[in-house]
Amino acid sequence: MEQQAFREARRELGGFTAAAEKRLLVWLAARLPAWVTPDHLTALGLAAMAAAGVAYASSRRDPRWIHAVNVCLVVNWFGDSLDGTLARYRQKLRPRYGFYVDHLVDAFGALFLLLGLAASGLMAERVAVALLVAYYLLNINIYLATYTLGTFKISYGAVGGTELRIVLILANLAALWLPEVQILGQPRRLFDLIGLFGIAALAVTIVRSAAWCTRTLYRMERV
């Protein structure tokens, strides 16, 4: 059977830090030793997220572990953002393999991070689960759109993966000093409020993106 030709999707990245980040990643890729491969960086990114989850869980006993979470998030950015740049810089692209492995790793990374956050006591378990489900739904929509429309949307508006890491690092630092806030006279966990806002933002993004993709595909294949 003749194998169907693979068409690599067009990447859309428009985050607030995208331009500066791209220059930095190319600079780093040019200076990595030859023995470092994109697979090494992908594995490093996943290990960093697993370590971040463990550090979150450990912060239940000692809040200073939050600093380790932030270090892990920076290491995750290095591995997760640089693996594709390194492959493109060295002209050693494996688009199907890279797309599959990179985003499977992202799914496990989110799982490790939110399980650790729930175990930390900083966020209610049900909020963490709902946030994880919303994240997965958004990614399912992104991957379906990538397959059907040939466009891989990495960011929405000014927010992409790097911006989310920055927000999470700042939230971690804030939680060290103010783990709870008063809302209508009742104490509420800061991360619960952040999680609920994240769920709402993801839900709106999913609905808007799904509506746009559905209209676009309907017009493309109007009967």
pLDDT digits (tens, 9 = 90+) for 117-131: 999 999 999 999 999
Q: Enter the tokens of residue 203.
A: 């839900």
The angle at the Cα of 145, spanning 210 to 13, to the nearest 5 degrees, equals 100
Residue pointed to by tokens 């270090």: 71
> Across the strands, what pairs with 183?
186
Q: pTM for this one?
A: 0.84
Nearest one of 49, 69, 51, 32 to 168, comparing CA atoms: 69
Q: DSSP letters along 41-92, please?
A: HHHHHHHHHHHHHHHHHHTTT-TTHHHHHHHHHHHHHHHHHHHHHHHHHTT-
Residue pointed to by tokens 């493109």: 88
The neighbour count for residue 25, using CB atoms within 10 Å, is 20
Q: Enter the tokens of residue 92.
A: 């050693």
The angle at the Cα of 47, spanning 43 to 48, to the nearest 5 degrees, equals 115
Spatial CB neighbours of 17, under 8 Å, sequence gap ≥ 6? 160, 162, 163, 166
Alpha carbon of 95 to those of 10, 51, 98, 102, 146: distances in Å? 11, 28, 5, 10, 13
Domains along the chain? 15-220 (1.20.120.1760)
pLDDT, tens digit only, all 223 positions of the chain: 334 444 555 555 556 777 888 899 999 999 999 999 999 999 999 999 999 999 999 999 999 999 999 999 999 999 999 999 999 999 988 988 988 999 999 999 999 999 999 999 999 999 999 999 999 999 999 889 888 888 776 656 567 788 889 999 999 999 998 888 888 778 889 999 999 999 999 999 999 999 999 999 999 887 6
d(CA 105, CA 45): 8
